[in-house]
Structure 1
Amino acid sequence: MTNLNKELPAQKEPVSKPHEEKPSTSSTLKLLLGYAKPHRLTFVGVAFCALLGISAELLQPLIVQIAIDDHLVKGEGGGALIKLGLLYLGIAVVSFVFTYLQNNLLQYAGQSIIARIRKDLFGHISKMSMSFFDRTHSGSLVTNVSNDTETISQFFTQVLLSLVRDGMMLVLIIALMFSLDVELAAFSMLILPVIFIVAALFRSYLRSTYQQARSRLSRLIAFTAENLSGMGLIQSFRQEEEQLGRFTEQNRNYWTANLRQIRSNVLFNRTFDILGNAALVLMVWLGGRAVLGQSMEVGVLYAFVSYIRQFFQPINQITMQWNTFQSTTVAVERIQRVLETKSDVREPDSGQTVPLDPRDVRGEVNFRDVTFGYRADRPVLKRLNLNIRPGEMIGVVGTTGAGKSTLISLLNRFYDVNEGSIEIDGTDIRRIPQSDLHAVVGLIQQDPYLFAGSIVDNVRLFREDVTREQVIEACRFVGAHPMVLRLQNGYDTHLSERGSGLSAGERQLISFARIVVFRPKILILDEATANLDSETEKLVQEALTSVSQGRTTIVIAHRLSTIMHADRILVMQEGEVTEQGTHAQLLASGGHYAELYRHARQSGRERLPG
């Protein structure tokens, strides 16, 4: 049995190209600040609530200190302690209220920012040229839109919160500690250099472990997506065990990287726990000696110990967020790399733009000295010249690799020509806005893509300006109406992804209905009947006859019946048009088309080779 590894799609290169530079930390922070700027007033509110909440929280040990030194030590109680107790309770309520407000404001701002990043990222990806998707993992892009944005969300809801709240708390605690006892406070500060040294030592290690884990996760997602897309092929060649083995290897690699990242985070965080506990023991010992020597009151020692415990809490929280900050930096770099990737196919400059009104388009297409290759050293089309008259139906045949699909990819401007030009009604398509171009050029592919949604939504592609009545009329026009009515819920039948549940012919009829709804002046069919049985092909052929009326039509076909009645048939070999004419003329000339035709007839099929 043939090994499936050769049949499955090859892994693509990462988004970044070898010559691209990694975004700097300053540029990633600039990107985050740019998205955060519209919410600056909200962040001011967060800081204000945090200040009030922290202040109320830090007053609590002082109230206890007053109760101990001014009342309990002197044997006093009664009304004064009740008042202090009520004050303590009131301050706790104030701390709760402002902490609640602070968290809600921050979540609102953070989630709003992430929603906008996701929208911008998806919008940017959807505008990229096909060459971008040729070299980019789909799994990597899914990770960018989902996981990386969630990581950035943690920056606003965790890291930023820690920097604001814990930073303020640290400053206020230091001030209160020095107000209680200068000597003990000074001893407490000796631990700060140690903390900075430990953080610096861990910084690069934490970053490398996270990058490795994210990279292996992207590969795992990409591998899974590719296998799900090719599951029919996997099962038909009985390659489940082979692919499971490959998946297990990818899964094990991610598991190993994940464990390494977790171990590094635990080691980092526990190191600070040890430092905090050691400092607390030192302060209790020094403070206890001072109390025994009667140079410090018991209440002051209680307050100081409370503050020293709280002193290491914000430090620990800030350091614990270091790995999240590292994760955020990596995630922003990945997203920034995508956002900074320029499409190879770009909108024309404002001074060169030629707007195209679909109602005024005649449909004349000209290829002028077009040379193109997916790699510069391997041209697929070589100085191609071709004129297609308005309303003409052109059939294109040729063996695999002759350049048939490349021809229509260039006309749709999925790629730009390397040399020469392609014109519609005398206008270079590079000067036409892409929205105008795609409104004029309609494409029906061999395997039409249907989205998860109703029949109506799939015909009008979720555009609300297209009415239900227009959809039904389009389906009637192409002969799809009886098929739709046979479905359980008719036009409201919900299709799953890719339209599973519909036959290839039924999906193709839906795609023809789209053409009727959007009315492009130039219609391209990329082997639209290649995988259909004879009965279904007849329905699709009738639909093609209907929708091609009054349109310039280019048909890439493997079936003779699809192109025999074309106004002109082009025969392509190695990126050049070697023959052209009607079916009868080409048979009479006895060239390559006649040979293809003879081969198809001898094999007992109406399918042309290639």
Structure 2
Amino acid sequence: MRQAINNWQMDLKTGAGGGKPPKQPKPQYRSAFRILGSYAGEHRGTFFLVAVCTVIAIAAELLQPYLVKVAIDDHLMAGKKDFGSLLIICGIYLALSLAGFVFTYLQNNLLQYAGQSIVAKIRKQLFEHITKLSMSYFDKTSNGSLITHVSSDTEALNQFFNQVLLTLLRDGLMLVFILVMMFQLDATLGVYCLAILPLIAFIAVAFRSFVRNTYQMARTRLSRLVAFVAENLSGMNLIQVFQQQKAQAEQFKERNDAYFKANVREIRSMVLFNKSFDLLSNLTIAYVTWIGGKAVLGHTIEFGVLYAFITYIRQFFQPVNAITQQWNTLQSATVAVNRIWGLLDIQPDIEDRPQPLRINRETVQGGIDFNRITFGYESGSPVMRGLDLHIVPGEMVGIVGTTGAGKSSLISLLCRFYDVQEGSIQIDGIDIRTLPQEELHRIVGLVQQEPYLFAGSIIDNVRMFDESISREEVIRACEFVGADPLVRLMKDGYDTRLSERGSGLSAGERQLLSFARIIVFQPRILILDEATANLDSQTEQLIQQALQAVSQGRTTIVIAHRLSTIMQADRILVMRQGAIVETGTHSQLLAKQGYYEQLYRHSQGELDNREARASL
């Protein structure tokens, strides 16, 4: 029992077929700033305005302590009773505060607009690139990994613009301006303050490595925890059947405790780091107060200068602390950028030629030739070797065989999800590799065993969100395949909104809508991949009628799980281990008493058994 659970968890980690997980291509490391900078060109004007607003906002903030210094030294300490001048200083102070607020608001909004535009563009580019990758890539890459790229990695870029870039720009300039103001007030006291910079740098570097390690440890343990939960949710039926709830709960507790400890360590390190800076800030203020106080008492500097220095020292530590705290976010963004560009660097195995052949779809007859093709998913392990098959225009061909016989591989090659290693596949004598993939997929229509429906209306799902196809064309297509009565019974008819994958519809209703798609897009070649495998007999009869309707005037290839689906086909191909071992009509193949007859007798036996069980 324990071994069964372990094997199930291993299968989930390595893929349903077992074996080692596929190696991802190692991305070429490039500077994250250089990559993101390549997108900043079109926002050059916006970033210039951000810089201007930042300078004005910082200047407004740093001039406020200087105004207080003027009020103290030139008026209060001098004994002047010029209340008008103090009122003017107060008015300027208020104006600077308002200016700081306005320009900080503008700076944040401009930066976020430019940053979010760049992130949105990268996310769009990433999604479009993923949709262009070959099926061989999806065979080796988990959906979870791709979702992480589109969601988590782009969110890391989002945080870069929300937090890191703003901190580096604003707080970096703030540090420079504070040092300038310090030396402007008193160069000697400024030099004393500079003596603390090496200590600040030492603390920042020492904590940076420690904080990075604790951050990575927490993220790793969180990933393991999430992966464990996902595994258990996927195999909940197995856990309950083998009564493994308690054992799995113990394993979850171990991972949860490990994540808890890593989180506590991360929080402790951040608190220690922040408080170290607070302590250093207070010690520096005490040091400046002592040195400056002696200078004030000795009449070397004025009291207002000391006040301004203490204020600037307080402000000095805030940006240093903020910049250091953003180190982990900066690292995450750097890793995310290189992960995204590692994916963008992957080139599809199947690409259109530089000058593809353009043909008129209206003139396509639908003749198909597999000319001694050799193909394998892995090099050195061919699934097919020297297969030769010729289908005349308008012919209905059924393909049968056990799992792994090569039926679906044959169809995938015709749709050019993969390319043959040897030989060629031709439509009307034209090699499909010379055609644009867009043209090929309008010529060849595919109806799969589990038709995919998107979140949207029935109208949009039938016409695949192509606004150039009218509502009337969709309705006529549904009427043609017999789906119209079913749609009319729905609450909103053709405007009924479907959930993701069309979960509100039965398997037969989803299949009828997929047939309606075929009528709307009018491919010259129709492929049905186990289209009636999971249907009851009554629904299968309805689908059979739709099949007869959509196959008229088209070359049709039917991969059959139920042999009743292809008994009326013009020709039936029997595949075994990647080769065609028998061919003929249903009656001819039965007369041969070969492999097809075994499959047929086996299917009839299953049917008889099902009917017998139903009658009990």
TM-score calculated relative to the size of structure 1: 0.91
- 1:249 CA drift (Å): 6.7
Q: 2:589 aligned with 1:604, yes or no?
A: no
> Structure 2 unaligned runs (5+)?
611-616
Which residue pairs with 2:44 in the alignment? 40
- Give me the whole-angstrom Cα distance separating, in 1, the residues matched to 2:183 and 2:555: 85
Pairing of 1:25-36 with structure 2 (within 5 A): 25-26=30-31, 28-36=32-40
565 and 220 in structure 1: CA distance in 2 versus 1, 3 angstrom threshold:
farther
Identify the match of residue 317 of structure 1 among 305, 322, 332: 322
Number of equivalent positions: 603
What residue in structure 2 maps to residue 55 of structure 1?
A: 59
Matched residue of 1:423: which SS?
Answer: strand
State the superposition RMSD in angstroms. Answer: 2.9
Contact 2:69-2:304 at 8 Å conserved across structures: yes
1:597 aligned partner, one-letter code = Y
Asked if 1:100 is matched to 2:105, the reply is yes
Q: Which residue of 2 aligns with 1:304?
A: 309
Q: How far apart are residue 189 of structure 1 and its match?
A: 1.6
Alpha carbons 2:562, 2:603 under 8 Å: kept: no
- 1:237: how far off? 8.8
Counterpart position of 2:410: 407
Q: Tell me, in whole angstroms, the C-alpha distance in 1 between the residues paired with 2:363 and 2:159.
A: 52
Structure 1 unaligned runs (5+)?
none
Distance 1:222 1:434 in 2: 37
Amino acid across the alignment from 1:530:
A
**Residue 545 (structure 1) aligns with:** 548
How far off its partner does 1:120 sit?
Answer: 0.5
Cα deviation for residue 75 of structure 1 reads 2.7
CA distance in 2 between partners of 1:7 and 1:451 (Å):
31
Distance 1:254 1:16, change over 3 A: farther
CA spacing shift, 1:535–1:139, aligned 2, 3 Å: same
Does the 8 A contact of 2:415 with 2:440 survive in 1?
yes
Distance 1:267 1:232, change over 3 A: same
Cα deviation for residue 29 of structure 1 reads 2.4
Give 1:84's match in structure 2, choosing from 52, 71, 89. Answer: 89
Q: Any conservation in 1 of the 2:375–2:420 contact (CA below 8 Å)?
A: yes
1:372 lines up with 2:409 in the alignment: no
Q: Could you give the per-residue CA deviations for residues 33-72 of structure 1, whole angstroms, max 9, x where no partner exists?
A: 1122211110000000111111111111111001111111
The amino acid of 1:561's aligned partner reads S
Return closer, same or farther for 1:381/1:112 CA change in 2, 3 Å cut-off: same
Residue 492 to residue 251, structure 1, CA distance change in 2 (3 Å): farther
Distance 1:516 1:344, change over 3 A: same
Query: Structure 2: which amino acid aligns with 1:319?
Result: T
Percent sequence identity over matched residues? 59
Equivalent in the alignment of 1:10:
12
Which residue of structure 2 aligns with residue 157 of structure 1? 162
- Tell me whether 261-270 or 72-81 shows the greater mean CA deviation: 261-270
State whether residues 354 and 432 of structure 1, in contact with CA within 8 Å, keep that contact through their aligned partners in structure 2.
Answer: yes
Question: Mapping of 1:550-565 within 5 angstroms?
Answer: 550-565=553-568
Aligned match for 1:119, one of 112, 121, 124? 124
Kindly indicate whether the alpha-carbon contact (under 8 Å) linking 1:265 and 1:323 is maintained by their aligned counterparts in 2.
Answer: no
CA distance in 2 between counterparts of 1:356 and 1:218 reads 50
- Partners of 1:224 and 1:42 in 2: how far apart? 44
| 1:76/1:605 CA distance change after superposition, 3 Å | farther
CA distance in 2, matches of 1:323, 1:71: 48
Q: Distance in 2 between matches of 1:244 and 1:471?
A: 52
**Residue 575 (structure 1) shift:** 0.7
| Alpha-carbon distance in structure 1 between the residues aligned to 2:230 and 2:111 | 35
- Pairing of 1:164-563 with structure 2 (within 5 A): 164-204=169-209, 206-207=211-212, 209-210=214-215, 261-348=266-353, 350-351=354-355, 353-563=356-566
CA contact (8 A) 2:26 2:342 kept: no
Secondary structure of residue in 2 paired with 1:10 = helix
Assess if the C-alpha contact under 8 Å between 2:27 and 2:341 holds in 1.
no
Q: Is the Cα–Cα contact under 8 Å of residues 16 and 337 in structure 1 kept in the other structure? A: no
Q: How much does 1:421 deviate?
A: 2.1
CA shift for structure 1 position 181:
1.5
User: 2:78 aligned with 1:69, yes or no?
Assistant: no
Checking the alignment, whether the CA contact within 8 Å between 1:143 and 1:218 is kept in structure 2 is no
SS in 2 for 1:367: strand
What TM-score, normalized to structure 2?
0.90
Q: Which moved more, 1:559-568 or 1:315-324?
A: 315-324
Contact 2:454–2:498 (CA under 8 A) maintained in structure 1: yes
Q: Which amino acid aligns with 1:523?
A: L
Bigger mean CA offset, 240-249 vs 495-504: 240-249
Partners of 1:207 and 1:327 within 8 A in 2: no
Moved more, 231-240 or 72-81: 231-240
Counterpart CA distance in 2 for 1:239 and 1:422 is 51
**In structure 2, C-alpha distance between the alignment counterparts of 1:307 and 1:592, rounded to whole Å:** 90
Label 1:558 to 1:519 Cα distance change in 2 as closer, same or farther (>3 A): same
Distance 1:422 1:256 in 2: 59
Partner of residue 582, structure 2: 579
Of 93-102 and 280-289, more deviation after overlay is shown by: 280-289
Question: Residues 202 and 436 of structure 1: is their aligned pair in 2 closer, same or farther, counting only changes over 3 Å?
Answer: farther
Quick check: 1:140–1:218 contact (8 Å CA) kept in 2? no
Asked if the contact 1:269–1:319 (Cα under 8 Å) also holds between the matched residues in 2, the reply is no
Letter in 1 for 2:65: P
- 1:270 Cα deviation from its structure 2 partner: 4.0
Distance 1:436 1:278, change over 3 A: farther
1:510-566 alpha-carbon deviations (Å, 9 max, x no partner): 111111111111111110000101100001000011101111111111112210011
What is the Cα deviation at residue 382 of structure 1? Answer: 1.9
Give the deviation of 1:491 after TM superposition. Answer: 1.1
Going from structure 1 to structure 2, the CA distance change for 1:56 and 1:604 (only over 3 Å counts) comes to: closer
